[in-house]
Amino acid sequence: MTPLNPTLAATFAPPVMEARRWLAGAVFPPERPLINVSQAAPVEPPPEALRRVMADAALNRPEAHLYGPVLGNADLRATLAASWQRFYDAPVSASHVAITQGCNQAFCAAIASLAGAGDEVIIPAPWYFNHKMWLDMQGIRAVPLACGPDMVPRAGDAAALISERTRAIVLVSPNNPTGAEYPAATLSAFYDLARARGLALIVDETYRDFDSREGAPHDLRARPDADDVLIQLYSFSKVFRLTGHRVGAILTGPQRLAQIEKFLDTVAISTSQIGQIGAEYGLREMGDWVAAERAEILSRRAAMVAAMARVPGWQVVSAGAYFAWVAHPHDMGSDELAQRLVHEAGILMLPGTMFMPEGQGHGHLRIAYANADAQGIAAMAARLAGFRPDARP
């Protein structure tokens, strides 16, 4: 066999794809269909008005089929900058914005500008598995930062993990996989730590539009040295249901974006034109629709918490945006439990072991409830309540 990159070969398989393989051989009768709460992605297409704009671009805008600027289309960069300037009440210009092929690529580009093989990056555990995978592929050591009982990490704990090889701290809020919304004071403490130690602070805000709190969740963008310290990541995939069009963003200082441009030009050249056109229209024209989407997600969060409170032994540790991090009562690891739930309860969810260092996460699972309505959430809870670990079909 020809050689394999050893860091790529050592990286764990994509968890969502692994979980889908558990469906092989499973039978889900019509009266008891599969409840899939494994992946945080919209299952419906964008709203019709947005689709019409994108369809018109495909038919009538020749540039929609060509390469665009590496850092993104000028109109989308300007519109996003204006939106973030209003939201954060902070100076943001188009020169602070790069458009990427989804938020995963935004993370990869940010890391490429910061660290190389042998360096270290601190990430809270439970982690977003694609963050961990990218660091592993690059030979960068992911240093796990344990969260508190509320699933919020502490800057003081992170300080003890910093070494001469540390290059950045990564935060995700609202969090994937736990749903935890980090308090402004927590984000401020991490910013101060990163600034004092000469590190970058990466804040992934993919689910910002579904935060239960009103207004800006932090003031970091307004800090005078934010261009040097702060790297914000954003996604249009969830808020406008544009997952298939891969549109994300990085907001940071222009000097770093000059380096990030090298990465983006090498791996993609430019982001999908039609996706960018849709995202720009959504930012300008769909504020009311986004507000309604947020209200619906928040209602599902409330339904999730209420339904799980009625399931004996199960506990919602934290919930927010698309996710709940739950503790289970059964005398088995979450990896075994998750696979049994597919065949014995018709539920597909991810075990906590997929988000934690080896040997950890056996008592928890992640439930991505955003694609389940209140009725579906109630049905899932009823099946969990009826699951009997000592019974076999």
- C-alpha 333/C-alpha 352 separation (Å) is 9
SS3 41: coil
Proportion of the chain above pLDDT 90, given as a percent: 92
- C-alpha 143/C-alpha 52 separation (Å) is 45
Q: 180-239: per-residue pLDDT in tens?
A: 999 999 999 999 999 999 999 999 999 999 999 999 999 999 999 999 999 999 999 999
Proportion of the chain above pLDDT 70, given as a percent: 99
pLDDT at 140: 97
Q: 262-293: per-residue pLDDT in tens?
A: 999 999 999 999 999 999 999 999 999 999 99
pLDDT at 111: 98
Nearest Cα residue to 192 out of 137, 247, 229: 229
Q: 99-157: per-residue pLDDT in tens?
A: 999 999 999 999 999 999 999 999 999 999 999 999 999 999 999 999 999 999 999 99
Q: Which residues contact 100 (CB under 8 A, 6 or more apart)?
A: 72, 106, 109, 247, 248, 249, 250, 264, 268, 271
Q: What is the mean pLDDT of the chain?
A: 95
C-alpha angle 101-104-109 in degrees, rounded to nearest 5 = 80
Q: 290-304: per-residue pLDDT in tens?
A: 999 999 999 999 999
Q: What pLDDT band is residue 64 in, cutting at 50, 70 and 90?
A: very high
- C-alpha 357/C-alpha 128 separation (Å) is 12
Q: Are strands 120-125 and 166-172 parallel, antiparallel or unpaired?
A: parallel
Q: Which residues contact 344 (CB under 8 A, 6 or more apart)?
A: 387, 391, 392, 393
Q: Note whether 364 and 335 are within 8 A (CB).
A: no
**φ, ψ (nearest 5 deg) of residue 38:** -95, -25
Q: Where are the alpha helices (DSSP H) in the chain?
A: 6-10, 15-21, 48-60, 74-88, 102-112, 129-137, 155-159, 184-197, 226-229, 254-267, 273-285, 287-308, 334-345, 374-386
- What is the separation, in whole angstroms, between the first and last Cα of the chain? 42
pLDDT at 391: 67
C-alpha angle 123-126-130 in degrees, rounded to nearest 5 = 65
Which position has the token pair 């260092």? 357
Domains of the chain listed by start with CATH number: 6-45+289-386 (3.90.1150.10), 48-286 (3.40.640.10)
Cis peptide before 126, with omega less than 30 degrees from 0?
yes
pLDDT at 356: 96
pTM to 2 decimals?
0.95
SS3 121: strand
pLDDT at 1: 74
Average pLDDT over residues 341-370: 95
Other beta carbons within 10 angstroms of residue 80's beta carbon come to: 24
Q: What pLDDT band is residue 393 in, cutting at 50, 70 and 90?
A: low
- Sheet with 120-125, edge to edge strand ranges: 97-100, 248-251, 230-235, 200-204, 166-172, 120-125, 141-146
Q: Note whether 122 and 145 are within 8 A (CB).
A: yes
